[in-house]
Structure 1
């Protein structure tokens, strides 16, 4: 019997640099803050503002604060305190602070919940490409989450940025000697992961998350000529492209 040749598949080129976001790309994150905010809204128990109005007010506070004070639990905790004082008209007491601290402590005490097939996908990608974790926030908190996740060994480098903007990506290109044509930023946020990376001359992959933080919402930019923008349904779909 004549043997037919095995089918061949064109695999993507190896040896690219993949910059990968962490929160809500590798593991669940924003839903933990949502739980803390829901507990805060119940605790505030405002008599005229609806829960959605309280959340909108908190969003405005955070939007104004992160530009000056950055991200992380300390900044989030302070935003809750300010929101309480502004909406209640009361000065926060030690009892109030203790309760607010309890809400934020639940975030740090929650186990790391990896998104589906993240570990096996990273194992595959790490065998073919250089992986850099590129996240933003409080450095100690982000590094601790990475350690707890069990994913640290897949990455050739870790960058915790105060903000992800064009200048930050240009600096990363220089510091890690990245060839723009073979470097990709992968994440769930149009505002932080995709648009500024494209503006810095890199390629990008959007991995949408149903619960991306509202402050990370932004209209997706088009890829400039000579660059590429991909959108995948799930993190594991990266295996089809890399």
Structure 2
């Protein structure tokens, strides 16, 4: 009996491994650095505004985040931020770029179980070098038939990738922790979308759950993905 799904796409950050926690820790350090020089009450909002403003220039990822911190530091201090603070911001950014990769629960065993039965594709956005580094450090690379590092995730992105690496969007599934980037556009392309919530998700990625969509599913962690696929196979 044929699978209704032949290709499974996986988001990387906060789906395969921890990521957002490092951004939160760095943002807390950023506030500590600026506290002697400015009122930090609305610093988080100012930083988020800078990040959103700069997405079109720097894209997603650590480097854009660091440049947005520098820009915000200059802005909130009226250009009086000490060079030593800028140096510290750059240093914490470098630390983020070399932090250890910590796979999330049930990731390895799930990929191992699916490998060879489905085409597995990692679909992630962000800085090319950083995402390649994390994949290599994770030890998960051999499970994937293909890796796609993209500037953004849209309906057209999923249509193109699932056509290139599979049998098209209708026979594909996207798995991820971001409703906005992983689930909603994949559903728009005609794929299945499996939402795996993470305790920490960047506010920019928030979106209402498409709970009425017939191809939307939600699981607590990747350990439940096999059951979802088995049920779809039985319906085929």
**TM-score, normalized by length of structure 2?**
0.90
Per-residue deviation, 1:191: 0.5
Deviations 1:156-193 (A, max 9, x none): 00000000011211221332243333200100000000
SS of equivalent residue, structure 1 residue 49: coil
Which is higher, the Rg of structure 1 or of structure 2?
1
Matching residue within 11, 15, 22 for 1:32: 22
Matching residue within 130, 142, 165 for 1:141: 130
* Matching residue of 1:240: 227
1:14–1:203 distance in 2 versus 1, CA, 3 Å = closer
Contact 2:158 2:169 in 1 (8 A): no
* Matching residue of 1:95: 84
Q: Distance in 1 between matches of 2:67 and 2:191?
A: 35
Contact 1:17 1:132 in 2 (8 A): yes
Q: Distance in 2 between matches of 1:12 and 1:241?
A: 15
2:102 corresponds to 1:113: yes
Per-residue deviation, 1:198: 0.7
Provide the aligned length of Structure 1 versus Structure 2. 228
Q: Distance in 1 between matches of 2:220 and 2:175?
A: 12
Matching residue within 198, 208, 215 for 2:187: 198
**Where in structure 2 are there 5+ consecutive unaligned residues?**
230-236
Per-residue deviation, 1:12: 9.2
**TM-score, normalized by length of structure 1?**
0.88
Contact 2:174 2:194 in 1 (8 A): yes
Q: Distance in 2 between matches of 1:231 and 1:222?
A: 9
Per-residue deviation, 1:19: 0.5
Matching residue within 84, 89, 92 for 2:73: 84
Contact 2:210 2:216 in 1 (8 A): no
Contact 1:19 1:133 in 2 (8 A): yes
* Matching residue of 1:182: 171
Per-residue deviation, 1:93: 5.1
Q: Distance in 1 between matches of 2:57 and 2:192?
A: 29
2:89 corresponds to 1:72: no
RMSD: 1.9
Contact 2:10 2:175 in 1 (8 A): yes
Deviations 1:76-129 (A, max 9, x none): 111001110111112555423211111112212321111112111110011321
For residues 215-234 of structure 1, the aligned pairs below 5 Å read 215-222=204-211, 224=213, 228-234=215-221
Contact 1:15 1:130 in 2 (8 A): no
Contact 2:180 2:207 in 1 (8 A): yes
Deviations 1:23-70 (A, max 9, x none): 0000000000111110010000054332xx211111111111112320
1:176–1:23 distance in 2 versus 1, CA, 3 Å = same
1:177–1:39 distance in 2 versus 1, CA, 3 Å = same
